[in-house]
Amino acid sequence: MSVDLDLTDVLSEFVRTMLTDFPIQGMLDQLVGRTVELLPITSAGVTLISADNAPRCIAASDESALRFEQMQTELNEGPCLAAYLGGEPIVVANLAEERRFPKFAPRGMEEGLAAVVALPLGHDSHQLGALNLYMDVPGHLNQTDMKTAQTLAYVAAAFLLNAQIRLDLQVSSAQAIEESLHDPLTSLPNRKLMFERLNKAIIRTRKAGHTLAVFFIDLDQFKGTNDEHGHRAGDELLVAVAGRLNGLLRSRDTVSRISGDEFVILFDDLDGRSAVEAVAERVKGALSGRFVLSECVVSTTASIGIAIRDRLDEPVEELLRIADEAMYKAKRAGGNRFHIAEER
């Protein structure tokens, strides 16, 4: 079977793999293995290089290739780095006569290396590293073999770029999901995420019999802060309030900003009404007093409505409505207080 036919089979194999949810390490290991099968070389390796990170070998056909890759990183010298920096193939036909790499050449020969070809991996100005071909006897690759080697380097670069794009898309998607569930100003969970967590808490409470409490919080005189000091100060106050509320919570509790100056806190395992009242006093106290902002100092208080449930039959929306209604009773009573809705 000819080299060209073998190369065609390998390229077809890689293209099919790239269309799947391929594992990056398995693909690279396969690539260096196929490279040794296709070319008259002893071993092969791939090293990634970037301006921000030290070179690192990510695939090697055998232990000797791994040593040669690591040796160049250790010495900060060799055909791999030169190919990456210059963007052109580096051919060392006889390491014994090589003068460009005075540290790498003698070390490589001690390990049985005689010749090296390093091919840069990248696209245009975006260089990724190098595909390195190692031989235990001196000599050049012929024109056909060099063409095959260059094609394999293109395949490796395409695969790495594809993998990076896929990773970027995954990160971007995860960030988009995260952003869709959080308030952009305070970074607290938003209404959607609060509803999700409240639904899960209801299930846990039904199983464990704990007391679940929903605090609906509205800042008193928030409009006055905006009118007197501007919306920037109002936004800073909301961020500061979020920070104070976060500081009161256990890791299993959730505080969210659901709109404007309205916050909701979920406690799903308090020990009865007395524990709820003690927590409510702490929340009220944390929000009563001075907030030092960038350009002014403001004082505020909060009205808090609380819905307590040991048995949960209402939907989430009804539970929030009950807490909201209790908050308005606290506000109508003068604010700076909490009101616990009677269980129906």
pLDDT tens digits for 63-80? 999 999 999 999 999 999
Domain positions in the chain: 3-178, 191-340
What CA–CA distances, in Å, run from 116 to 80, 132, 139, 151, 236?
9, 7, 9, 17, 61
One of 3.30.70.260, 3.30.450.40, 1.10.357.10, 3.90.78.10 is the CATH number of 3-178, namely 3.30.450.40
Judge whether 168 counts as a catalytic residue.
no
Residue 255 tokens read as 């505080």
Pick the catalytic residue: 218, 253, 261, 324? 261
Backbone angles phi, psi at 139, to 5 degrees: 145, 160
Give tens-digit pLDDT for 229-260: 999 999 999 999 999 999 988 888 899 999 89
pLDDT tens digits for range 204-231: 776 666 778 999 999 998 999 998 999 9
Task: Give strand pairing partners of 307.
Answer: 214
Identity of residue 73: T
Query: Rounded CA gap, 150 and 115, in Å?
Result: 17
Residue 2's pLDDT band, with cuts at 50, 70 and 90, is very low
Taking the C-alpha atoms of residue 132 and residue 149, their distance in angstroms, rounded to an integer, is 10
Question: How high is the pLDDT of residue 170?
Answer: 61
d(CA 273, CA 270): 8
24-38 and 143-180 helices, crossing angle to 10°: 180
| pLDDT one-digit tens code per residue, 192-201 | 888 888 888 8
* CA-to-CA separations, 255 to 192, 203, 216, 250, in angstroms, rounded: 12, 19, 10, 10
Kindly report whether the global pTM for this prediction surpasses the value 0.85: no
* Domain 191-340 CATH superfamily: Reverse transcriptase/Diguanylate cyclase domain (3.30.70.270)
